[in-house]
């Protein structure tokens, strides 16, 4: 069984972009990559062929809600904004 880990609240992709935008002090936008282009996109980012295929498969499963998680998420006190801010500094 697998549990997810989340901050004090749930976040959307737009929330992540907003947090990076604030930390970097520049606009960050969310762009959806069609599933049929996931593997190619990961290859363009420098993934090996095998890693791109694996990561595209995993991403597709997450998008489709096919991950095997159970129970309530483990909650931590660190906010998304604080975590991303710590990565950028």
Which residues in 49-78 are b (16+ Cβ under 10 Å) and which e? eeebeebbeebeeeeeeeeeeeeeeeeeee
Neighbour count for residue 10 (Cβ, 10 Å): 10
pLDDT band at 1 (very low <50, low <70, confident <90, very high): low
Domain that holds residue 77: 5-88
pTM beyond 0.85: the answer is no
Dihedral-angle region of residue 25 (phi above 0 means left; psi in -120 to 50 means alpha; beta otherwise): left
Q: Summarize pLDDT for 19-73 with one digit per residue, the tens.
A: 999 999 999 999 999 999 999 999 999 999 999 999 999 999 988 888 877 778 8
Q: How many domains does the chain have?
A: 1
Q: What is the pLDDT of residue 8?
A: 93
- Tokens standing for 7? 């901050």
């Amino acid at each position: 069984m697998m549990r997810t880990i989340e901050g004090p609240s749930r976040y959307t992709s737009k929330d992540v972009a907003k947090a990076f935008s604030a930390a970097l002090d520049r606009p960050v936008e969310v762009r959806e990559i069609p599933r049929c282009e996931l593997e190619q996109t990961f290859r363009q980012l420098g993934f090996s062929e095998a890693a791109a295929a694996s990561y595209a498969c995993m991403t597709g499963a997450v998008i489709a809600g096919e991950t095997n998680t159970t129970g309530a998420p483990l909650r931590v006190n660190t906010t998304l904004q604080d975590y991303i801010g710590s990565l950028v500094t």
